[in-house]
Amino acid sequence: MSGLIRRIQDQRPQLTQSEIARRIGISPAAVNSWVRRKRGTGRGPNRETLTKLAGVLGVPESEVFTAAGRKTPGRVAPDREQRIVDAFRELTVEQQEFVEIQIRALVDYNQKTGPA
């Protein structure tokens, strides 16, 4: 991800690490650690932060997620999301816990395996 941030900063020198941090609501030290960190070390920023970063940098989310070594999350159509929530509510507490564990495992897998 450091390469992406540095490339954008070369194109827009007024966009400092501190300014990036301010715009996405994190500490400048966090942005600095992304720039200095080699790909594959640490967990890095979460999905929401990567999405905000794409907006600040003016690049597609897919470019930021790829630079971070992550898979780009798919968009959920509102009707699909509602169907999933409705179905989830019909499950027992134990089944809901099981589904949550499975979803978290898939998210962790996507974060660890990088772009597809």
Distances (CA, A) of 7 to 16, 94, 99: 12, 48, 40
pLDDT per position in the chain (116 positions), as tens?
667 787 787 888 888 889 999 999 999 988 888 887 754 445 678 888 999 999 998 889 888 888 888 888 887 788 999 999 999 999 999 999 999 999 999 988 877 776 55
Q: What is the C-alpha to C-alpha distance for residues 18 and 22, in angstroms, rounded to an integer?
A: 6
What is the Cα–Cα distance from 48 to 33, expressed in whole angstroms? 18
User: Reduced to 3 states, what is the DSSP secondary structure of residue 37?
Assistant: coil
pLDDT on residue 40: 45
pTM of the model: 0.62
CB half-sphere exposure, 11, CA atoms < 13 A: 8
Spatial distance between the Cα atoms of 27 and 59, rounded to a whole number of angstroms: 21
pLDDT tens profile 94-103:
999 999 999 9
Burial class (CB in 10 A: 0-12, 13-18, 19+), 24: buried
Q: Look at residue 43 in the predicted model and tell me its pLDDT.
A: 63
Q: What is the pLDDT of residue 34?
A: 82
